[in-house]
């Protein structure tokens, strides 16, 4: 599995050109965000991809976000609430097996 990673440096303005170029190249999108999926930057990026590059996609955009709970203070619970390498990899493998 070969992934292209875009680490956004700014959210406003959002670098649509880089995002859409990656969609055109890879035809799949996984958005990883520590925030909740609801009302997050992941939702905005997903919406923009659907509006600007829908026909480039081989499958729906996938969002892998934090658990929708208040952020815990305890380190073990914080780790459980945020995306982890293992859960991200499981999502990627699921995308590959789906498409």
* Chain segment 29-42, per-residue pLDDT in tens: 999 999 999 999 99
* Paired strand residues for 65: 33
Residue 27 falls in which region: left (phi positive, over 0), alpha (psi -120 to 50) or beta: left
CB atoms within 10 A of CB 28: 21
Residue ranges and CATH numbers for the domains of the chain are 16-98 (3.40.50.920)
Give the distance, in angstroms, between the CA of residue 3 and the centroid of all CA atoms in the same chain. 12
* Chain segment 54-66, per-residue pLDDT in tens: 999 999 999 999 9
pTM of the model: 0.91
Average pLDDT value over all residues in the chain:
96
8 Å CB contact between 66 and 34: yes
- The helix (H) or strand (E) run that includes residue 57 is none
């Amino acid at each position: 599995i070969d992934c292209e990673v875009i680490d956004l440096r700014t959210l406003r303005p959002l670098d649509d050109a880089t995002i859409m170029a990656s969609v055109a190249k890879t035809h799949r999108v996984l958005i990883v965000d520590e925030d909740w999926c609801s009302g997050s930057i992941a939702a905005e990026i997903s919406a923009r991809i659907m509006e600007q590059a829908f026909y480039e996609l081989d499958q729906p955009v996938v969002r892998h976000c934090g658990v929708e709970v208040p952020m815990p203070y305890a380190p073990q619970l914080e780790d459980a609430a945020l995306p982890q390498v293992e859960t991200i990899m499981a999502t990627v493998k699921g995308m590959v097996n789906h498409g």
